[in-house]
Amino acid sequence: MIVLKTIVYKNCLKNKTNIMSFSKTEFQNLPDGEKAAYVINNGRHISSINTKNNFANLFVVDHLLVEVRYDGNENKISSIEIIEDSEMVDRYIDSAYPGLSEER
C-alpha cells in the first residue's frame, strides 16, 4: 500500500505549465486573495475532505501541495496553506481512494 500511495503522490505533483510560477516562500508571502485566485486558476484539484460545514481541498500548483479550507458557516475561505506533512497528504489520498488505507 505504501508503494501505491507513493505513486499517487508523485502523480499529483505532475503539474501543467504555468506562465507565472512561485517558489514556496513567494507563495506564502502572497495575500490570501491572491493565493486563492492563483490556486483556483493555475492549480489542479486532487482531493477533498468534507465535514459538516467545512470543506478542505487539496490542489497541486507549481509543484506545491496547497490546502484550501472553506468554512461553510462563515461562507468564506478560512485558510490557504502549503502542505508538507505526509500524514495530511495520506488523509487526502485515503479520502480519494478509500481502499488504499493500510491495515494497522
Q: List, for residues 31-54, the tens digit of each pLDDT value.
A: 999 999 999 999 999 999 988 889
Name residues whose C-beta falls within 8 Å of residue 22's C-beta, 6 or more positions apart in sequence.
30, 38, 62
pLDDT score recorded for residue 101: 61
Cα(75)–Cα(96) distance, integer angstroms: 24
pTM value is: 0.74
Number of domains in the chain: 1
What's the whole-number mean pLDDT along residues 1-17? 48
Q: List, for residues 63-89, the tens digit of each pLDDT value.
A: 899 999 999 999 999 999 999 998 888
CB-CB contact of 4 with 100 (8 Å): yes
**In terms of residue numbers, what domain contains 66?**
2-100
